[in-house]
Amino acid sequence: MTLTIIEAGILMTLSGIHFSWVFGGKFGFDVAIPTNPKGEKVLNPKAMDSFIVASGLLIFALYFLIRQGLIAINLPASIDKYGGWVISTIFLFRAIGDFKYVGFFHKVRGTRFSNMDLKLFSPLCLLLSLIGYYLIW
């Protein structure tokens, strides 16, 4: 149960950060966007993009809480069976990255985002993936 609380807690915290961006919050926003070597953002997310990510992260957290029995909701059989595998694989792919700007194997180095991605973002995604796989195994 402890790992479920850790997984859901991290996911809810990340969801909260993304929801804050929807409403104009700035905490961590500048460093969370990949940039090219000139410092230009390679993504220009809108509030709706942050809302979609925030909602997804919250749903992922709820999935693990429901699966552990901490929230009493019956999931459809296919979601119950495959949901954790899908969620964990999403975070594994994020940790591996796109081989250019994002993930452990990105080529563009030396930017603020790159440094945070190697120190925090990608390791956190890998952790979420590994905990998720463990919980559904």
- Buried/exposed 13-42: b ≥16 CB within 10 Å, e otherwise: ebbebbbbbbeeeeeeeeebbbbeeeeeee
Written as tens digits, the pLDDT of the chain (137 aa) is: 899 999 999 999 999 999 999 999 999 999 999 999 998 999 999 999 999 999 999 999 999 999 999 999 999 999 999 999 999 999 999 999 999 999 999 999 999 999 999 999 999 999 999 999 999 99
Q: In terms of pTM, does the model score above 0.85? A: yes
73 lies in which domain range? Answer: 1-136
Three-class DSSP category at 2: helix
Give kind and range of the element (H or E) at residue 68.
helix 47-68
In this structure, are residues 36 and 108 in contact, taking their beta carbons and an 8 Å threshold? yes
Token pair 């859901």 is found at 8
Could you give the number of structural domains in the chain?
A: 1
